[in-house]
Structure 1
Amino acid sequence: MTGPNILLTRIDNRLIHGQVGVTWVNHLGANLVVVANDKAAGDEVQQSLMDMVLPDVIQARYFSLQKTIDVIHKASPKQKIFLVVKDVHDALALKEGGVPLEQINVGNMHYEEGKKQISSTVSVDEADISAFKKLEQLGVSMDLRGVPNEKGQNIMDLL
Structure 2
Amino acid sequence: MGTPNILLTRIDNRLVHGQVGVTWVNYLGANLLIVANDEVAHDEVRQSLMDMVVSDTVGMRYFTLQKTIDIISKASPRQKIFLVLKTPEDVLVLKQGGVPISYVNVGNMHFEEGKNQITSTVSVDDEDIAAFHKLNELGVTCEIQGVPGEHAKNIMELI
Confirm or deny a common fold (TM above 0.5).
Answer: yes
State the Cα deviation string for residues 60-113 of structure 1 (Å, max 9, x = none).
Answer: 100000000000000000000000001111100000000000110000001110
Amino acid corresponding to residue 61 of structure 2 in structure 1: R
Distance 1:36 1:3 in 2: 18
Distance 1:40 1:137 in 2: 29
Identity %, equivalent residues: 68
Asked if residue 95 in structure 1 is aligned to residue 95 in structure 2, the reply is yes
Q: CA RMSD in A?
A: 1.0
Aligned length: 159
Aligned to 2:138: 138
SS at match of 1:151: coil
Shift of 1:41: 0.4
Aligned to 1:81: 81
Aligned to 1:106: 106
Distance 1:86 1:61 in 2: 15
> Any unmatched runs of 5+ in structure 2?
none
Aligned to 2:19: 19
Could you state the TM-score of these two structures normalised by the residue count of structure 2?
A: 0.98
Matches within 5 A, 1:118-137: 118-137=118-137
Distance 1:104 1:56 in 2: 25
Shift of 1:27: 0.6
Distance 2:85 2:30 in 1: 16
Aligned to 1:151: 151
Asked if residue 5 in structure 1 is aligned to residue 43 in structure 2, the reply is no
Shift of 1:127: 0.8
> Any unmatched runs of 5+ in structure 1?
none
**Which runs of structure 1 show a deviation greater than 6 angstroms over 4 or more consecutive aligned residues?**
none
Could you state the TM-score of these two structures normalised by the residue count of structure 1?
A: 0.98
Distance 1:34 1:139 in 2: 22
Shift of 1:121: 0.5
Distance 2:51 2:102 in 1: 26
SS at match of 2:100: coil
Aligned to 1:64: 64
Distance 1:101 1:148 in 2: 19
